[in-house]
């Protein structure tokens, strides 16, 4: 596609439920990133993919968070047993090369609300 696509755009879930967030990067972009943006906070790095591999998962806040990427394309971020503090906007970005913020294209994000 022309840009990075994320779905759903909004998700309201009950505390304790699992959620899956999806990111479709720009075709040909090998690098993919997940960030989280909470109210009044900067973008918090979660995980980076180069192809299907995740060289660094250290940004994931707890073992309730996991992510995968298949076919060097679509990525899914899964949050198990959601908590209220998980409420945030989850942003996905892709780029041709890793670690080049001048090449990032962000999706419009998934706004997650845990009630």
Binding site for another protein (CB under 8 A): 31, 33, 35, 40-43, 45, 48, 50, 55-56, 58-59, 91, 98-99, 101-102, 104, 106-109
- CB of 28 or CB of 101, closer to another protein: 101
- CB of 14 or CB of 101, closer to another protein: 101
27: exposed, middle or buried (C-beta count within 10 Å: 0-12, 13-18, 19+)?
Answer: exposed
* Spatial CA neighbour of 34 closest among 16, 21, 15: 21
Min. distance of Cβ 18 from another protein in angstroms?
25
Min. distance of Cβ 58 from another protein in angstroms?
7
- CB of 13 or CB of 37, closer to another protein: 37
* Spatial CA neighbour of 21 closest among 54, 67, 58: 67
User: How many other C-beta atoms can be found within 10 angstroms of the C-beta atom of residue 104?
Assistant: 16
């Amino acid at each position: 596609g022309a840009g990075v696509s994320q779905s759903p755009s909004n998700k309201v879930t009950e505390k304790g439920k699992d959620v899956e967030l999806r990111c479709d990067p720009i075709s040909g972009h090998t690098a993919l990133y997940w960030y989280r943006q909470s109210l009044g906070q900067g973008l918090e790095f979660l995980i980076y993919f180069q192809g299907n591999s995740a060289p660094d998962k250290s940004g994931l806040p707890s073992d309730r968070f996991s992510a995968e990427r298949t076919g060097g394309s679509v990525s899914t971020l899964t949050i198990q047993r959601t908590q209220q503090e998980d409420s945030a906007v989850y942003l996905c970005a892709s780029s041709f090369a890793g670690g080049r913020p001048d090449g990032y294209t962000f999706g419009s994000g998934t706004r997650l609300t845990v009630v």
